[in-house]
Amino acid sequence: MNNHTDKQQLNADVAFHLDSVTESGILKYRSDALPTWCPGCGYYGITHGLTQALNELQIENRNLVLISGIGCAGRYPFFVNGYGFHTVHGRGVPVACGVKMANPELTVLAVGGDGDGFGIGGGHLPHGIRRNVDITYIVFDNSIYGLTKGQTSPTTPIGQVSKTTPYGNPDMPLRPVVMGLAYGASFLGLGYAGKPDELKGLFKQAILHRGFSFVVITTPCLTFDHVNITYDRMRDIWEPMPKDHDPGNFESAMALAIDPEYYYGVLYQSNRPSWDDVQADIAVKAKG
């Protein structure tokens, strides 16, 4: 094929793709503001998975609330056609819990990065999880501070060079899923931004779960990380949860949480009462 034919084919492919995206209905969850993330950022894959999930669950825009903290993920509410709140560092979880407590009819999502959620917001997460308010908290974990230009974060591996650790990170990274299990998460999901179709299913389960859904998505920051979470390195090392894994089995979930392999899917789910259910019981008791 000559260059002219190549270009015609490319244009036809793009037009077909745009048509299929438009027909799918997912664009109704996108605002008029175009995302300002770097080209190729994993957040686009997460967005594609999430909009597909919202569309398949037929969540109405007027019932959708997306709350963020600070960081590259903090910009997310601007790009979503729903209600939103860009809060301050690490405060996405408590604000999202408050919104849901005030109006249980809403579908409330909180998003944030690893720095926002595990560094600055590290004190809020345990209490959000243990209270089990019915929200979905999605952490975009790229193991780096992206918005502030590439510093070591709470999940950066030992030895990784960054602007704040030019001789290699000396600190033990925390393990979000081990922490989530220890705090009593009633839903714990794992995903990878490079697999948006798998993310769709994971997000649907997380949103439908009644209680605090903690979803950790590994996502490449291709601007500031060229060695750890890269598309090339991640491509072949992700695998589905083992077929014999029972998400209702806490010990099995913990064994996988400390396993150095990368798995995606539902790691753990229990049906302990959500905050809303507990409050309903208390209201009955209080009335005698």
Contact residues toward ligand SF4 (CB under 6 A) are 37-38, 41, 43, 72, 142, 146-147, 221-224
Binding partner selected for residue 161 from Mg ion, ligand SF4, none, CB under the kind-specific 5 to 8 Å limit: none
- Nearest approach, Cβ of residue 13 and Mg ion (Å): 33
- How far apart are alpha carbons 51 and 64 in whole angstroms? 12
| 176 touching Mg ion, by CB under 5 A | no
Binding partner selected for residue 114 from Mg ion, ligand SF4, none, CB under the kind-specific 5 to 8 Å limit: Mg ion
Q: Find where tokens 């979803």 sit.
A: 215
- Nearest approach, Cβ of residue 247 and ligand SF4 (Å): 29
Burial class (CB in 10 A: 0-12, 13-18, 19+), 210: middle
- How far apart are alpha carbons 30 and 76 in whole angstroms? 10
The one segment of 51-59, 108-116, 125-133, 186-194 that binds Mg ion by CB under 5 A: 108-116
Are 137 and 128 in contact by the 8 Å Cβ rule? The answer is yes
- Nearest approach, Cβ of residue 63 and ligand SF4 (Å): 28
CA–CA distances in Å: residue 83 to residues 66, 86, 122, 133, 153:
6, 10, 25, 19, 29
Are 188 and 181 in contact by the 8 Å Cβ rule? The answer is yes
Pick between residue 7 and residue 226 the one whose CB is nearest to ligand SF4: 226
SS3 66: strand
**Considering only residues 91, 97, 114, 256, which one is a binding residue for Mg ion as defined by CB under 5 A?**
114
- Nearest approach, Cβ of residue 166 and ligand SF4 (Å): 19
